[in-house]
A and B are shown apart, each in its own frame.
Chain A
Amino acid sequence: MNRWLGPSLRRHLLMILAGTAVTITLVPTIGSSYALAFGFQFVIWTALALSWSLFSGNSGYASFGHGVFFGIGTYAASAVFRSTDAPFVVALAVAGLAAGALALLLGAAVFSSPRFAGDLFGLVTLAMAFIAVTVVSNVAFLDGGTGVFVREHTSSTWIGSDSRHLFVVGALLAALSAVVALGASTTRWGAALRSIHDDEAVAESLGVPTYRYKVVTFAVSGTLAGLAGAPQAVFLGYVEVGAVFTLNIPLLVIMMTILGGMARWYGPLVGAAVVVILREALTGWASAEMAQIIMGLSLIVVIAVMPRGVSGYLTRTRPAARAGQGGAR
C-alpha cells in the first residue's frame, strides 16, 4: 500500500496507457458504424462501472444515483451546445463539474447524519433520481419535457462531424476512470475506503476521517460519471428525460461491478465487457426482453458460483500470479 509507483502499480498503469493508445490508434480502421457504436457503448459503460465502484464498490455504500450524475452530465453538455458555440471541451468540463457539484452537495448533506448510514443511503440516492427527472422535465432551459436535439448544434463541430471522435473521447474517459480506480486500489485512500466498508466505527478510531473520505470520493465518482455524459449527449443526438434518467443505468452499472467483482481494480471493467457483449449478443439472438431475463438469471448464477465476481474467481484459480503481485490488487 502506498508505495507510489511501485513496480506492479507502474505495470498496471502502463497496461492502461498501452490499451488506450492501441484502441485509439485502431479507431481509424473501424469501418462500420455499428462497430463504432458498440465500441463507444463499451467504453462509456466501462467509465460508468469503474466510477461507480470507485465509491460504492470500495466503501460499500450502494448508490442508485449514478444514472443521475451521468444524466446531469448529458443534459449539462446539451445545454452548453444549445446555448453557446463553445468547443466540446467546455461542454465536457461543465458536464463533469455539474455532476460533481451535485454529488459533493448530496454527499456533504447525507453523510453528515448517521441516520443515513448503510442501506438508507441507497434510498436517498434513489429519491434523488426521481427528483432529477422531475426537475429536468420542468426546467425549460434544460429540457422542459420536449427533449433536446443535440445533433443539430454539434453537426458542424469537431465532435459532431465524425463518430470516431466520440469513441476517442469515450476511451480517454474510460482510461481516466481506470487510472483513478487503480489509484484507489493501491493507495492509503483506497484502503481507508475499504475499511469504511467493513467497520466504519473502528476505521474512525484508527484515525480515518470517514466523513471526508466519503464526501470526496462520492464527488469524484459523480464527476467521472458526469464527464461520460458529455460524449453520450452527442452520441444520442436527441436527449429525453425518460431515456437519460432510466433506472436501468444504475442497475446495469451495479450488475457490472457484481459480475466483474471488486477483488481487483479492473473487476468492473471485466463486468462491463461481459454485460455489454452479452446484451448485444442476446438482443440479436432473441429479443430485448429475453436479454433482460437471461442477464438477470446469469447475475444470480454468478453471485452463487463466484461470490467475488469474475475477477475474484480468476485470481483465485491463479494463486501464483497473485503471490507475484506487489501493491496492486
Chain B
Amino acid sequence: MLEVSDLTAGYGEAVALRGVDLQVRDGTTVSLVGSNGAGKSTLVKALMGMQPVSGGTVRLDGEDITHRAASDRPRLGMALVPEGRRLFKDMTVRDNLLLGVHHPAARKRSAGALESVYELFPVLRKRSRQLAGTMSGGEQQMVALGRALISRPRLLILDEPSLGLAPIIVEQVFETLARVTAEGVTVLLAEQNMRRALELSDHGYVLADGQIVLDASGAELLKSDSVRTAYLGDA
C-alpha cells in the first residue's frame, strides 16, 4: 500500500532523514521504532505532507503523493494521530471528532462513524460537550484516535501514541489499536515503546540517525540483540 523510497528531508542545513526505504503492505501493522531524535516524527510528517521533502518518493497504491498537500491526505484515505495528541483544546470533544470528517471525501466514507467512535470509546459520548483541553491525557488520546478513525482511513499513522501516558492507559491504547488492526486497517506506528509496538506488528523498522538500520518481522526484532544496540545508537 505505502511505498517509501530513498526519502530525504531536513530542517535547513540539518538532515533528519537520509534515504529512507520502507514498505507497508495492505492490511498489515508496521512499527517504526528508534530512540528519541532518530527521525521518526520527521518521517511521519513527511508521509503526511506536513514536512517538506528534499528527495525520494512516497507512493500510495503506486500513486506518487510525495508533494501532495497535507489537506489532500483524507481524500487518499490517510489519517494521523499526531505526537502529543494535538487536539483542538478550546473546542468540544464532538467538534474535535467531527473535524476528522471535515474533508468531503472523508465524510462520504464515514457516514455515521461518529456513532462507531462513541461505541469504541463510550466515555466520549458522555463527554461530547466537554472542551477537549480539560480532559485527562488518556481521554485526550481517545479523542485523537477517534478523530483519526472517524474518517475510516485505509492507512492509519500514529506518532508516539503512548508518550506521556500512565502505563494502564498505554495498555488501553494498544488494546484499541489491536482492535483497529483486526478490522483490517493498515497501520504504521512510530513508537519509542519498542516492545509493545513490535508485539503488535507484522513487521518492524528500526530508525537511527535518519536511516533504517534494521528491518525484520516484529517477532524477529523482539528477539534480536542488535535492535537494542541500534536503539541505543552504538551499532
CB of B62, distance to nearest CB on chain A (Å): 22
Cβ of B74 < 8 Å from any Cβ of A? yes
Q: How many residues of A contact B (CB 8 A)?
A: 22
Chain B positions within 8 Å of A204 at CB level = 50, 69-71
Contacts A203-B99, A204-B71 hold; do A194 and B49 have CB atoms under 8 A apart? Answer: no
Contact yes or no, B74 A207, CB < 8 A: yes
Interface residues in B160-193 (C-beta closer than 8 Å to A): none
Q: How many residues of B contact A (CB 8 A)?
A: 29
- Which A residue's beta carbon lies closest to that of B147? A206
Cβ of B127 < 8 Å from any Cβ of A? no
Which segment, of B32-40, B83-91, B209-217, B226-234, faces chain A?
A: B83-91
- Which B residue's beta carbon lies closest to that of A1? B98
Cβ of A153 < 8 Å from any Cβ of B? no
Cβ of B80 < 8 Å from any Cβ of A? yes
Chain B positions within 8 Å of A197 at CB level = 88, 90
Contacts A194-B88, A201-B70 hold; do A206 and B95 have CB atoms under 8 A apart? Answer: no
Cβ of B75 < 8 Å from any Cβ of A? yes
Contact yes or no, B88 A199, CB < 8 A: yes
Chain A positions within 8 Å of B72 at CB level = 207
Contact yes or no, B129 A323, CB < 8 A: yes
Instruction: Name A's interface SS.
Output: helix
Chain A positions within 8 Å of B71 at CB level = 204-210
Interface residues in A298-329 (C-beta closer than 8 Å to B): 322-323
Which segment, of B1-9, B11-19, B100-108, B198-206, faces chain A?
A: B100-108
Between-chain CB contacts (< 8 Å), 28 pairs: A1-B95, A2-B98, A188-B98, A191-B91, A191-B99, A192-B102, A194-B95, A195-B99, A197-B88, A198-B87, A198-B88, A198-B91, A199-B86, A202-B82, A202-B86, A203-B99, A204-B69, A205-B73, A205-B82, A206-B71, A206-B74, A206-B99, A206-B103, A207-B73, A207-B106, A208-B71, A208-B99, A208-B103
Q: Which residues of B contact A (CB under 8 A)?
A: 48-50, 69-75, 80, 82, 86-91, 94-95, 98-100, 102-103, 105-106, 129, 147
